[in-house]
């Protein structure tokens, strides 16, 4: 009769499964996936760490070059550099933690 339980009661009516651990989730997913879980087979060789380091250095240099004393929107920075958003955000976080740049209101960033 408590109106706060309306959402939970609706889930139970729809057939929700009680989940208390990861095993509960795996037991529900296993039949849907047609078997157990296993590591994916890697047919392609993984990129070398030298190649990844070179790409990270390229993105870091591009971010440092694009930043200036005037705040720039992070989205515009990502478009300008043409690099993955995750990589650009990682570089910005590194610079921020090193005290070399600061975030401004409106999702903007500039040199400190």
Which residue segment(s) compose the domain that 57 sits in? 49-111
List, in sequence order, every residue forming a beta bridge with 72; answer none if it has no partner.
Answer: 109
DSSP state at residue 67: -
Claim: this prediction has a pTM higher than 0.85: no
Tens of pLDDT along 42-100?
A: 666 666 666 778 888 999 999 999 999 999 999 999 999 999 999 999 999 999 999 99
DSSP state at residue 3: G
What pLDDT score does 53 carry?
Answer: 80
67 and 18 share one domain:
no
56 and 82 share one domain:
yes
State the DSSP H helix or E strand holding residue 110, giving kind and residue range, or none if neither: strand 108-111
What are the φ and ψ backbone dihedral angles of 69, each rounded to 5 degrees?
-70, -25
104 and 60 share one domain:
yes
The answer to whether position 39 is within a domain reads: no
What pLDDT score does 40 carry?
Answer: 65
State both tokens at 23: 């095993």
The answer to whether position 106 is within a domain reads: yes
What pLDDT score does 78 carry?
Answer: 93
Which pLDDT band holds residue 22 (cuts at 50, 70, 90)?
Answer: confident
- Distance, in Å, from the CA atom of 39 to the CA atom of 36, rounded to the nearest integer, reads 10
What pLDDT score does 77 carry?
Answer: 93
The answer to whether position 85 is within a domain reads: yes
57 and 99 share one domain:
yes
The answer to whether position 43 is within a domain reads: no
- Distance, in Å, from the CA atom of 97 to the CA atom of 66, rounded to the nearest integer, reads 18
The answer to whether position 76 is within a domain reads: yes
What pLDDT score does 49 carry?
Answer: 66
CATH of the domain at 54: 1.10.10.10
17 and 64 share one domain:
no
């Amino acid at each position: 009769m408590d109106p706060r339980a309306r959402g939970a009661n609706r889930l139970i009516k729809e057939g929700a499964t009680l989940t208390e651990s990861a095993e509960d989730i795996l037991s529900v997913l296993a039949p849907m996936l047609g078997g157990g879980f296993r590591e994916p087979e890697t047919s392609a060789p993984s990129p070398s760490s030298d190649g990844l380091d070179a790409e990270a250095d390229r993105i870091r240099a591009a971010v440092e070059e694009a930043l200036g004393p005037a705040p720039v929107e992070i989205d515009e920075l990502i478009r300008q550099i043409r690099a993955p958003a995750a990589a650009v955000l990682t570089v910005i976080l590194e610079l921020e933690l090193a005290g070399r740049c600061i975030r401004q209101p409106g999702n903007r960033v500039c040199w400190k």
